[in-house]
């Protein structure tokens, strides 16, 4: 398989968890490079459903090593909870998990700030997951963050934490929010530290050693291209680089060692949280929600839904260098009579084919649609490309052509078996 980066080509929740789980078969090591427990990756194996937030989805396969890289922000309490939850399901977590000592930590004051800043924004809120992700990456950029290596040093950690709590409580009080308890955080984090200690190491050295032995790496992207801090619909984005470049900076693997980029996209579009979404369509949303689909894995929020947006995915393909496509949730469109695909935007009378940089301009874009007939039958039993209805194949080929990448994987349901390779 060589070294492969997998990214979301839309606004997150493209079904990356399932595709990662599928591809892990051919990988030796699965690496997370950015984001935190704002991510929610759902994987269904047999009768069981697993939702992972921080631990790479590869953990569910035996004999695979999972790495949480330096670019991830870690809430140690959440991570310990996830490890314990997986162990309770019989998943072994021992030497198959490595966590970068350089990864920054998320603290309760980050979560409190996240929540309070959102509350103060009122109707201009971003709609964050309130996991403290923005403030934690903010501290990292401001060079005031604490890292996992700090937590591992039991003698110096208390003083470092005390300083951060003092400063953040001043800010919290000034924003009319409740200050956090130093004592409680110290106690909770020291307990978590001991659970995490066996996994903490220099993951860059580990990964490079593995590469020199010819091991295959799979980089598991979290969130999606339009939530990227630099390339997304700013400020309605997350605080990390969700695009392919983030896999390099967040893991310490140089760009020329990457062999391929797989872009995952739904056969339609969804978004959770606020921000522009040109192809949003309430009727399609109602239909999908009635089918029990499109509720967030992290927050349970109903996702906003809309038609496939080829303007957005073509640009995503460019930024990420996507060479292969994984199209998921095709079965979500099984009973839609007329399917629409956005092939251009109309902005103030002009037709454009690149998403505008300013979020309020994206908001003003009117999609130009091409309408194609639906296939009106179930695709969930198809196991080969030929078994898909002709109209569904035509639809897939159209969106691949508009996106500008090669069709590689099609998903027609949550289970491992419901995966078609072209």
38 binds ligand IMP (CB under 6 A): yes
17 binds ligand IMP (CB under 6 A): no
Please identify, using beta-carbon distances, which residue of 40 and 306 lies nearer to ligand IMP: 40
129 binds, among ligand IMP, Mg ion, none (CB under 5 to 8 A by kind): ligand IMP
289 vs 283: CA distance, rounded Å = 10
53 is known as an active-site residue: no
Using omega within 30 degrees of 0 as the cis cutoff, is the peptide bond preceding 21 cis? no
223 binds ligand IMP (CB under 6 A): yes
278 vs 298: CA distance, rounded Å = 24
297 binds Mg ion (CB under 5 A): yes
344 binds, among ligand IMP, Mg ion, none (CB under 5 to 8 A by kind): none
13 is known as an active-site residue: yes
CB of 38 to ligand IMP, least distance (A): 4
The tokens for 18 are: 């399932």
Phi, psi angle pair for 98, to nearest 5°: -125, 135
93 vs 85: CA distance, rounded Å = 11
CB of 137 to ligand IMP, least distance (A): 9
CB of 213 to ligand IMP, least distance (A): 32
CB of 209 to ligand IMP, least distance (A): 30
Q: How many residues bind ligand IMP (CB under 6 A)?
A: 20
272 binds, among ligand IMP, Mg ion, none (CB under 5 to 8 A by kind): ligand IMP
3-state helix, strand, coil in the chain (%, to 5): 40, 20, 40
Among 68, 227, 265, 316, binds ligand IMP (CB under 6 A): 227
Q: What DSSP line would sit under 119-156, residue for residue?
A: HHHGGG-----SSSHHHHHHHHHHT---BHHHHH-TTT
Q: Restricting to residues 237-266, name those near ligand IMP by CB under 6 A.
A: 238-239
322 vs 313: CA distance, rounded Å = 10
40 binds Mg ion (CB under 5 A): yes
13 binds Mg ion (CB under 5 A): yes
The tokens for 327 are: 């199209």
Please identify, using beta-carbon distances, which residue of 137 and 307 lies nearer to ligand IMP: 137
Q: Where are the alpha helices (DSSP H) in 157-309?
A: 157-174, 182-196, 203-212, 244-249, 282-290
128 binds, among ligand IMP, Mg ion, none (CB under 5 to 8 A by kind): ligand IMP
Among 127, 179, 344, 356, binds ligand IMP (CB under 6 A): 127
264 binds Mg ion (CB under 5 A): no
Contact 389, 375 (CB under 8 A): yes
Which is nearest to 276 in space by CA: 204, 209, 227, 326? 227
Rg (CA), the chain: 21
Stretch that binds ligand IMP, among 66-74, 128-136, 307-315, 337-345 (CB under 6 A): 128-136
Stretch that binds Mg ion, among 37-45, 130-138, 384-392, 399-407 (CB under 5 A): 37-45
373 vs 110: CA distance, rounded Å = 48
Per DSSP bridges, beta strands 338-347 and 366-373 are: antiparallel
30 vs 44: CA distance, rounded Å = 18
227 binds, among ligand IMP, Mg ion, none (CB under 5 to 8 A by kind): ligand IMP
Q: Restricting to residues 173-212, name those near ligand IMP by CB under 6 A.
A: none
Please identify, using beta-carbon distances, which residue of 128 and 320 lies nearer to ligand IMP: 128
C-alpha distances (whole Å) from 220 to each of 128, 136, 204, 248, 297 are 21, 21, 16, 12, 17
Catalytic option among 41, 53, 104, 231: 41
34 binds ligand IMP (CB under 6 A): no
Phi, psi angle pair for 6, to nearest 5°: -115, 125
Please identify, using beta-carbon distances, which residue of 54 and 161 lies nearer to Mg ion: 54
Among 33, 37, 129, 203, binds ligand IMP (CB under 6 A): 129
Contacts with Mg ion, residue ranges (CB under 5 A): 13, 40, 297
Catalytic positions, written as ranges: 13, 41
Contacts with ligand IMP, residue ranges (CB under 6 A): 12-13, 38-40, 126-129, 131, 133-134, 222-223, 227, 236, 238-239, 272-273
């Amino acid at each position: 398989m060589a070294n492969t980066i997998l990214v979301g080509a839309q606004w997150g929740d493209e079904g990356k968890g399932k595709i990662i789980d599928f591809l892990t078969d051919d990988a030796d090591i699965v690496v997370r490079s950015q984001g935190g427990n704002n991510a929610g990756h759902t994987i269904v194996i047999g009768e069981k459903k697993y939702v992972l937030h921080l631990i790479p989805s590869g953990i569910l396969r035996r004999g695979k090593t999972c790495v949480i890289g330096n670019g991830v922000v870690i809430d140690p309490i959440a991570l310990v909870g996830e490890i314990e939850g997986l162990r309770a399901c019989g998943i072994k977590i021992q030497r198959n998990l490595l966590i970068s000592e350089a990864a920054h930590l998320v603290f309760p004051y980050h979560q409190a700030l996240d929540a309070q800043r959102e509350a103060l924004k009122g109707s201009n809120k971003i709609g964050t997951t309130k996991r403290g992700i923005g403030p934690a990456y903010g501290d990292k950029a401001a060079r005031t963050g604490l890292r996992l290596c700090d937590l591992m040093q039991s003698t110096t950690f208390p003083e470092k934490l005390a300083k951060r709590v003092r400063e953040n409580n001043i800010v919290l009080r000034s924003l009319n929010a409740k200050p956090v308890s130093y004592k409680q955080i110290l106690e909770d984090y020291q307990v978590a530290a001991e659970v995490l200690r066996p996994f903490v190491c220099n993951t860059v050295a580990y990964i490079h050693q593995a590469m020199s032995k010819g091991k295959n790496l799979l980089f598991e992207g979290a969130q999606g291209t339009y939530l990227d801090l630099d390339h997304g619909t700013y400020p309605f984005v997350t605080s990390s680089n969700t695009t392919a470049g983030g896999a390099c900076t967040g893991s310490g693997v140089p760009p020329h060692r990457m062999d391929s980029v797989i872009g995952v996209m739904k056969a339609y579009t969804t978004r959770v949280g606020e921000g522009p979404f040109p192809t949003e369509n309430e009727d399609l949303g109602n239909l999908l929600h009635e089918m029990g689909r499109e509720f967030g894995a992290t927050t349970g929020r109903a996702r906003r839904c809309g038609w496939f947006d080829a303007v957005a995915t073509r640009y995503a393909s460019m930024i990420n260098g996507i060479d292969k496509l994984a199209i998921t949730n095709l079965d979500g469109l099984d009973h839609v009579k007329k399917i629409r695909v956005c092939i251009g935007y109309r902005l103030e009378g002009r037709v454009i084919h690149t998403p505008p940089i300013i979020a309020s301009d994206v908001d003003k874009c009117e999609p130009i649609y091409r309408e194609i007939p639906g296939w009106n039958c179930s695709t969930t039993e198809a196991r080969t490309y030929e078994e898909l209805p002709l109209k569904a194949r035509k639809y897939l080929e159209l969106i691949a052509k508009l996106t500008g990448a090669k069709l590689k994987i099609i998903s027609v349901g949550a289970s491992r078996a419901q995966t078609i390779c072209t």
